[in-house]
Amino acid sequence: MSISKRMLAGLGLAGIAAVAVTSLNGLPAAQAAAKPRQLIFYSAQGYDQAMATAFQKKTGIIVKLDDDSTGNIVARMEAERSNPHWDVAWFDGDSTMQALDNEGMLLRGFVPNDVSNYIPLGRSLIAPDRSYYPTGVTAAAAMAYNTRQVPAKDAPKTWADLLKPEFRHAVAMNDPSISGPTFPFVAGIMQQMGRKNGQNYFQKLKANGLRIFQTNDNTLSALLAGQEKVIMIQDSALTNAKVKGEPIKIVYPKSGVYTLPGVIAIDKHAPDMAAAKEFVEFVLSQEGQRVMLNPANGGGDSYFNPVIKGMKPDAARQQTGIHWYRVNPLTAAHQENSIKQWFNENITH
C-alpha cells in the first residue's frame, strides 16, 4: 500500500502509526496481531475433555488437551523441564505431584479465589507451599469381595483379615510401579504401620498367595471371573463396577483408607500464566465441580468425594463409615523410588 506525502501530513503522527501497522491482509493491526488465548492442558482425568469444553465455552480461551496416563504425563513433564509446553497438569496422586514440586517445576504461592471454599479434608490436602490443589479425593485402595464367592458373614473387615487361611491364593492388588493409585496405598500402609512392619505385612500377603496385576481393569476382571475372592484397588473403580451391577461389595477398613486426591498444578513457566490461573479457579468453582461429578462426563472418575463446600457426591458413592488416613506427600515423594524398588524386588517378583 502506498501513502502520499499529503496524506501523511494530514494524518499526523497518530494517523501515520495507525496506517503503518495495517496488516498485509488489509486488517487493522489490533485485529491482525491479536492471537486467541490458549491453554495447554495435560491430564489423566476422565472428565478432562468435558472440563476443557466447559471452560472454553465460558471464557473463549482455546484449550488444547493432552489426555494420557499419569505415568506418561509425568514423563513428558520431566522431558520438557527446560522447555515446558504445558500450562496446567491434573492427575491423581499428591505424592507424585509433590515430587515434581521438589524438582522446582511447579508454580508456588498461587492462592485461588475459591480456596476458602474447601471443607476441612480439602484444606488438609493443599500443598504446604501452595504449588498444587486438591480437586476431589478417593481412597487409594478399598477392599472389594465377590459376593458369589464370599458370604457377607465371612467378608474381611480389616487389612489384617486378608492374611487369614480362607483367603489364601484369593487376594489381588495392582503393581505400584505401574498403577498410579496403588503407590499411595502401599506408602499409606508403610506410613501407618511403620516402614518395617508395612513391608512385613506385604511379605505375609505374598506368602498367603497375593497376586499382582498391572491395573484396575486387570485386577477387577480377575475378581469378577472368580479367580480372586478379594481385591484392593481405588474405590472409584469399585463404585463404577458396582453401579454397572457387578456382584461386588466394597469394604472400608475401620483402621482407615489412604487419601488419593486429584491434584491440579500450574507450570512455573506456563506459556499463558493468566489462562492457567483462570482454569484452576474454574475447576475449583461449583460450576467446575458439577462438570466433574457428572458420570456422563467422567465415568468411574466421577465417583469421588468432593472437597469443595456445597458439593455432594454421586448418590452411588458410599459416604458413611469411611475413615480417611492422610498419606504425607512429602514423605511419600521422598520414599517413592525406594518403596517401589523394594516392592518390585520382594513382592511383585
* pLDDT at res. 49: 97
Residue range 71-87: average pLDDT? Answer: 91
pLDDT in the model for residue 89: 98
Across the range 51-58, mean pLDDT stands at 98
- pLDDT for residue 150: 96
- Provide the pLDDT confidence category of residue 234 given band limits of 50, 70 and 90: very high
pLDDT in tens, 89-117: 999 999 999 999 999 999 999 999 878 89
135 with 291: CB under 8 angstroms?
no
Task: List the beta bridge partners of residue 259.
Answer: 139
Helix%, strand%, coil% for the chain, nearest 5: 45, 20, 35
Range name among 3-17, 74-88, 158-172, 198-212 with the lowest pLDDT average:
3-17
What contacts 84, CB < 8 A, 6 or more positions away? 77, 105, 267, 269, 270, 271
Residue 304 CA: distances (Å) to CA of 189, 235, 317: 21, 8, 7
Kindly list the structural domains of the chain, giving each domain's residue range(s) and its CATH number in brackets, ordered by start: 38-137+261-316 (3.40.190.10), 142-258+333-348 (3.40.190.10)
| Spatial CA neighbour of 88 closest among 39, 121, 50, 123 | 39
- pTM score, whole prediction: 0.85
Q: What is the CA radius of gyration of the chain?
A: 25
**pLDDT attached to residue 180:** 86
**pLDDT of 29 over the 60 cut:** no
- pLDDT category at 313 given cuts 50, 70, 90 is very high
In the block, residue with C-alpha cell 491482525: 32
Question: Burial, 297: exposed, middle or buried (Cβ in 10 Å; 0-12, 13-18, 19+)?
Answer: buried
